[in-house]
Amino acid sequence: MSLDRRSLRWNGWGLVDAPDLLGDKAETFWAWAGRSFGMDPLPRTPAKELSEIVLPAWRLASRYAEDLAGIVGTERIKSDVYERAWHARGRSYHDLLLLRAGLIDAAPDVVVYPENEGQVLELVRFAARENIALVPFGGGSSVVGGVTALALAGQAGVITVDMTLMDQLLDIDEEALVARIQPGMYGPALEEALQARGFTLGHYPQSFEYSTLGGWIAARSAGHQSNKYGKAEEWFASARLATPHGIWITEGFPGSAAGPQLRNLVPGSEGTLGIITEATVRIHRVPEMKDYRGYLFPSFEAGVAATREMMQSEIPTAMIRLSDLTETFFYNALDTGGAGADSPAVFCVMLVGLEGGVSTVVTAREQTKAVIQKHGGFPIGETVGKTWYMGRFFTPYLRDPLLDRGLGVDTLETAARWTDLLPLYRATIAAMERALEENAPTPGLRNVVMAHVSHSYRDGASLYFTFVFARALDREVEQWLAVKRAASEAIIANGGTISHHHGIGMDHLPWLAREKGPFNMDLLRAVKHVADPEGVLNPGKLFE
Amino acid sequence: MSLDRRSLRWNGWGLVDAPDLLGDKAETFWAWAGRSFGMDPLPRTPAKELSEIVLPAWRLASRYAEDLAGIVGTERIKSDVYERAWHARGRSYHDLLLLRAGLIDAAPDVVVYPENEGQVLELVRFAARENIALVPFGGGSSVVGGVTALALAGQAGVITVDMTLMDQLLDIDEEALVARIQPGMYGPALEEALQARGFTLGHYPQSFEYSTLGGWIAARSAGHQSNKYGKAEEWFASARLATPHGIWITEGFPGSAAGPQLRNLVPGSEGTLGIITEATVRIHRVPEMKDYRGYLFPSFEAGVAATREMMQSEIPTAMIRLSDLTETFFYNALDTGGAGADSPAVFCVMLVGLEGGVSTVVTAREQTKAVIQKHGGFPIGETVGKTWYMGRFFTPYLRDPLLDRGLGVDTLETAARWTDLLPLYRATIAAMERALEENAPTPGLRNVVMAHVSHSYRDGASLYFTFVFARALDREVEQWLAVKRAASEAIIANGGTISHHHGIGMDHLPWLAREKGPFNMDLLRAVKHVADPEGVLNPGKLFE
């Protein structure tokens, strides 16, 4: 069952009526935050109400209304202010700055909700024929501008294709452990349907509650437990996609040497090569046992070394999440409401999650403990692991109240070989701190730049950076962009990819071509030209 | 150190002076084979000597000799009869029929041995400029026509680019467990160099001794232990390729969401998108322990069920190799020289290989035993495993003496979901038996069609078929083609891929487009057009 758009914030994260994440710690936390960021008391910077905001004029000629009604039916076409605003952008910090300020330069002319593949195919063909931009939309949780309702110059308008009515689990092949699922299924509904039959996809990205299967695949998403269940491109088996020239059905073999497997072009295509209408994914039986527990390390470096050894000795972990000193400090402050958070952390916390059969989990627990101990780490028990597990989808809710109080928070991420990881970490933190300092509203204000290792491989790992800062209210976007640029330059210069699991969208475009080089970009453009020669599929994303 | 082409058979498998595989069991084995195949005694059908054979005339204009000498140096250009014949084709059954009969319709005009990337790039540019077909060549062990020295109509000639002088291990990143290696390194040299420093790629295809890294990647090869070390596309991290328009450097991150990863187009490209000049691959530390042992199952079906359960419960096996009844029977006959091989097998043999740390191997051994027992299997000890391990690269040597005695042998393979595996197995065996019967030299002659499960996944497995038969000496190619066609049709009709790890080459072209469909083929052609618009890279392979 899909989520009613009215129940979800059009300019923030998650449910309109979500309870305050901080609960009864709110007052002390905000007092601490005010002291910490040097703005005591914190200013009040509420978002504009939708009623105060003027949306961009309809660009799409009204004569198209009849065509659209013929395809999806009148009741599946929405063009009211709420739907247009809700679908105007994704949910990045940059998006929220603009939405909250009412600076909506791009909004879909209409939002359509197709109910089957035939309708999607007709929509795509119609858009190609009439030169109308189509923005495929699932949960809309992109944090890189992946669903901005953008039309290129010369295009006749923008239609957002909300896929969330195509939200059925179609079939489970219990023998081959694969499931056919429609792309508009939200995370919780998908897991509920699979788990009711004893299975799981095991894909729990931070956005899990408000993102969909199609989006996960299109953006090469990674779930918290990707060490076990794989990143989207790993559990993705095959797909059907609607393109202007028909349904693209990809290969889907367990293994094949029948030439390059073109299905590998789907993960990361971000809606620019076709709209996913169905995906087949590799599933697991619900694990017998889950074991999440915490460890402390005397340094981030020691924790990284332990993470590397666990991966390279192929201990079957589901998750290894290693916070640096600053992040350990900050999450502790969040947890205590700032109480006792006046001295810096001296340990880094690592959470290790194990999932699987009892004997596998028990063996892996002993193996992880041995490696951790060897690198100077020591156990702090299950409570911290369980607490994280219970609250793991709540942290994105913190962004809106921060934004209401003159503060800003954003995240960015990368992956690199182990050899490059620590130099990249140090360079990126330093670059972000410098950019934040140079762009602070008042000189000398404190900022927080922190990171954790979130997904690991035998050859490297992903680093996830979070920065919290006092907003320069007169130049919010410029301030953010300065930090984003500094971080991205440091990442590219130090052997990292511009994104490990957020995607490219519009925000990472300036670095994509540098990362890939002209040859790879030529290949990508050639593929685009086959799939979408008219350039109507999610224009302005992935391709400049 | 590369293999001297003079030490290797130009029209057969492996070393010229390889000892007789059958040793002192030869006489009894051939007597048994004669009885079994209904040709007692077996006829003598020796191959033609090279001196009896006329190679096709040189097509390449002599004026190019100077250009080539300018690129690679005179001593790196070979155009003698032995080099031309040796490089004329790969080593498929079809190739050997033609080579042994002296029917060499295609041979390279010259063979060049570049020594560095710069030379390869110059060769590729030269070929594109002058419209000359270039055939990249490693060990030349293709069994699908992947290195046939073919020029398309209008092309000025064929140059085979033998890459085996580019055979150095360039660098090991011990922290990230990746190695940079030149493509012309043969299997044994590669493992020797890695293992000298404590590492292994763990990639041991059947052709290991006479195939190279570049070929493994280009053809999406699978090693015996692919359950642990992965198929080529899994351990392949990144590459540099020479194309007419410069060096193509692929992405190489541990994980990335920066759009589709174009590096996925390299495995399976079969030399048609560029010549690999360097590859970065994911390596392992040499395992502490290896454990290979045998089990018997009352039926192939029971063994398949056990294999599936081992994979789906994620027991870390390196190899599960399950022979059907016929294959168990045939290998037993080979082993005993036919003694006692008059009644059919009543059990299927399964070999399970485990590699890794001691505790992992010991745990996995208990886990595999439990699953096997549950499915009616029982252990037969380590000897069968060790015997297989010691002799695992010898069986291809059996083909030449079979060919000398009026017999034929070929293999083909596929992969499919577990759900499709047994129906596909039965249909393919039946189709091959029917085709062999219909194309037997004398009605009623016995044939052997057998199969094993060779590589497994959570969602499916690969099936490897071998057929041994009395040759129809007056229509050898037609006989083979009839069986090949029948098998391929059965595979495609039953949800299999036309190849799991042999590749497409020329032999599988008729089925490639049907497997992939027009959309995927359009994408592939668009990619080809970017990489090689002149169509000089390995023409006639992968693309029609």
Smallest Cβ distance to B462: which of A255, A458, A508? A255
Binning pLDDT at 50, 70 and 90, where does residue B337 land? confident
Residue B333 Cα, gap to closest chain A Cα (Å)? 32
Q: How far apart are CA A115 and CA A166, in angstroms?
A: 6
Picking from A7, A15, A3, A2, the residue whose alpha carbon sits closest to that of residue A400 is: A15
Task: Please state the length of chain A.
Answer: 544
Query: Are residue B462 and residue B333 in the same domain, yes or no?
Result: yes
> Per-residue pLDDT for A141 more than 70?
yes
Q: Could you give the CA distance from residue B201 to residue B235 in angstroms, rounded to a whole number? A: 8
Q: Shortest Cα distance from A9 to chain B (angstroms)?
A: 27
Residue A339 shares a structural domain with residue A473: yes
Is A460–B515 a contact, with Cβ atoms under 8 angstroms apart?
Answer: no
Average pLDDT estimate for A457-468: 98
In percent, the amount of chain B with pLDDT more than 90 equals 90
With an 8 Å Cβ cutoff, are B260 and A249 in contact? no
| Chain A contact set for B357 (CB, 8 A) | 313
Q: Which residue of A has its CA nearest to B513?
A: A258
Confirm if A531 and A273 have CB atoms less than 8 A apart: yes
Least confident of B82-86, B92-96, B336-340, B539-543: B336-340
Q: Name the residue of chain B whose CA is nearest to A417's CA.
A: B176
Mean pLDDT of B460-487: 97
Same domain, B456 and B334: yes
How sure is the predictor about A304, in pLDDT bands with cuts at 50, 70 and 90?
A: very high
* HEC secondary structure over A174-213: CCCCEEEECCCCEHHHHHHHHHCCCEECCCCCCCHHHCEH
Task: Compute, in degrees rounded to 10, the torsion defined by CA atoms A217, A221, A224, A230.
Answer: 60
pLDDT tens profile B436-471? 999 999 987 889 999 999 999 999 999 999 999 999
B173/A237 touch (CB, cutoff 8 Å), yes or no: no
- Residue ranges of alpha helices (H) inside A199-278 are 213-218, 226-229, 232-235
Residue A346 lies in a domain: yes
Nearest to B400, CA basis, from B19, B54, B146: B19
Q: Is A306 domain-assigned?
A: yes
Query: A246 lies in a domain?
Result: yes
- pLDDT over 60 at A191, yes or no: yes
- For residues A252 and A281, membership in a common domain is answered with yes
Let me know: does B341 contact B33? Beta carbons within 8 Å: no
Conformational region of residue B41, where left means phi above 0, alpha means psi within -120 to 50, and beta covers everything else? beta
Check residue A478 and give its pLDDT. 98
pLDDT of residue A1: 53
Structure tokens at B239: 């590459």
- Domain end, chosen from B252, B285, B318, is at B285
Q: Which amino acid is it at A337? A: G
Quickly list H helices, A343-392: 358-374, 383-391
Please give the structure tokens belonging to residue A122: 């007709």
Q: What distances in angstroms separate CA B409 from CA A176, A288, A438, B94, B403, one per listed residue? A: 32, 47, 74, 10, 8
Min CA distance, B74 vs chain A (Å)?
32
Phi then psi dihedrals of residue B423, to 5 deg? -55, -40
Whether residue B398 is contained in a domain is answered as yes
- Tell me the pLDDT tens digit for each residue of B522-532: 999 999 999 99
Contact A258 B516 (CB under 8 A): yes
AA identity, residue A19: P
**Residue range B206-224: mean pLDDT, rounded:** 98
User: Do A233 and A270 reside in the same domain of the chain?
Assistant: yes
Q: Check A258 against B515: CB less than 8 A apart.
A: yes
Is residue B39 assigned to a domain? no
**Cβ separation of B220 and A177 shorter than 8 Å?**
no
- Stretch A263-268: mean pLDDT: 98
The verdict on residue B479 lying in a domain is: yes
CA distances (Å), origin B92, targets A417, B20, B109, B436: 39, 20, 21, 18
Q: If DSSP codes are grouped into helix, strand and coil, which group holds residue B242?
A: strand
Supply the angle between the helices B418-438 and B300-312 in degrees, to the nearest 10: 140
- Partners of residue B175 in chain A, C-beta under 8 Å: 308, 417-419
Residues B280 and B312 in one domain: no
**Which chain B positions have a beta carbon within 8 Å of A499's beta carbon?**
256-258
User: Do A299 and A441 have their domain in common?
Assistant: yes
Contact A325/A345 with Cβ under 8 angstroms?
Answer: yes
Subunit contact A529:B526, Cβ cutoff 8 A: yes
Q: How far apart are CA B496 and CA B421, in angstroms?
A: 8
Residue A253 has pLDDT above 70, yes or no: yes
Residue A526: closest C-alpha in chain B: B526
Task: Based on the fold, state whether residues B189 and B313 are members of the same structural domain.
Answer: no
CB B355 within 8 A of CB B287: yes
Contacts of A523 in chain B (CB under 8 A): 262, 265, 527, 530-531
Q: What is the pLDDT of residue B335?
A: 82
A311 in the same domain as A457:
yes
Are A283 and A201 in contact by the 8 Å Cβ rule? The answer is yes
| Chain B residue whose CA is closest to A226 | B255
Residue of B nearest to A245 (CA): B519
> Chain B residues with CB inside 8 Å of A283's CB?
none
Confirm whether A278 is domain-assigned: yes
pLDDT tens-digit map of A396-449: 999 999 999 999 999 999 999 999 999 999 999 999 999 999 999 988 788 999
Write the CATH number for B465. Answer: 3.40.462.40
The string of pLDDT tens digits covering residues A98-110 is 999 999 999 999 9
Q: Nearest residue on chain B to A463, judged by CA atoms? A: B255
Q: Which of B236, B258, B285 is the last residue of a domain?
A: B285
Rounded to the nearest integer, the mean pLDDT of chain A is 96
Residue with tokens 């500094």: A486
For residue A75, give the amino acid letter: E
Q: In what order do the strands lie in the sheet with B77-78?
A: B77-78, B110-112, B158-162, B133-137
* Residue A285 reports pLDDT greater than 70: yes
Chain A hits for B231, CB-CB cut-off 8 Å, are 255
pLDDT above 90 coverage of chain A, percent: 90
**Taking the complete model, does pTM exceed 0.90, yes or no?**
yes
* Under 8 Å between Cβ of B305 and B540: no
Query: In a mutagenesis test of the B interface, which of A262, A283, A413 is the best target, namely the one with the most B β-carbons within 10 Å?
Result: A262
Beta bridge partner(s), residue B322: B350, B453
In a domain, A437, yes or no: yes
For residue A269, how far is the Cα from the chain centroid? 15
The domain spanning residue B209 has which CATH number? 3.30.465.10
Which of A224, A255, A285 is a domain's end point?
A285
Quick check: B342 pLDDT over 80? no
Cis peptide before A43 (omega within 30 of 0): no
Is B526 in contact with A526 (Cβ distance < 8 A)?
yes
C-beta atoms of B258 and A264 within 8 A = no
Q: Determine, for residues B542 and A502 on separate chains, whether the beta-carbon distance falls below 8 Å.
A: no
Do B312 and B454 reside in the same domain of the chain?
yes
Query: Quick check: B412 and B502 in contact, CB under 8 A?
Result: yes
CA-wise closest residue to A224 among A203, A209, A243: A203
Contact A522 B530 (CB under 8 A): yes
3-state secondary structure A282-315: ECEECCCEEEEEEEEECCHHHHHHHHHHHHHCCC
Residue B23: pLDDT band (50, 70, 90) is: confident
Are A277 and A322 part of one and the same domain? no
- Compute the average pLDDT of residues A494-520: 98
Residues A326 and A426 in one domain: yes
CA pair distance B37, A427, nearest whole angstrom? 71
Q: Long-range contact list for A517-521, CB < 8 A, 24+ apart?
A: A517/B249, A519/B243, A519/B245, A519/B246, A519/B247, A519/B248, A519/B249, A519/B530, A520/B248, A520/B250, A520/B251, A520/B262
For residue B129, how many C-alpha atoms fall within 13 Å in the half-sphere facing its CB?
Answer: 10
Q: Is the pLDDT of residue B75 over 70?
A: yes
Nearest-by-CA chain A residue for B253: A416
pLDDT over threshold 70, residue B1: no
What's the complex ipTM? 0.97
Asked whether the predicted pLDDT for residue B307 surpasses 60, the reply is yes
pLDDT of residue A358: 94
Domain that holds residue B435: 289-493
State mean pLDDT over B2-19.
92
- Name which of A159-168, A356-365, B278-287 the model is least confident about: A356-365
Mean pLDDT for B477-493 is 98
Please give the tally of structural domains in chain B.
2
Q: Would you call the peptide bond into A41 cis, given omega within 30 degrees of 0 as the criterion?
A: yes
At position A503, the amino acid (one-letter code) is: G
Structure token digits, residue B244: 């007419």
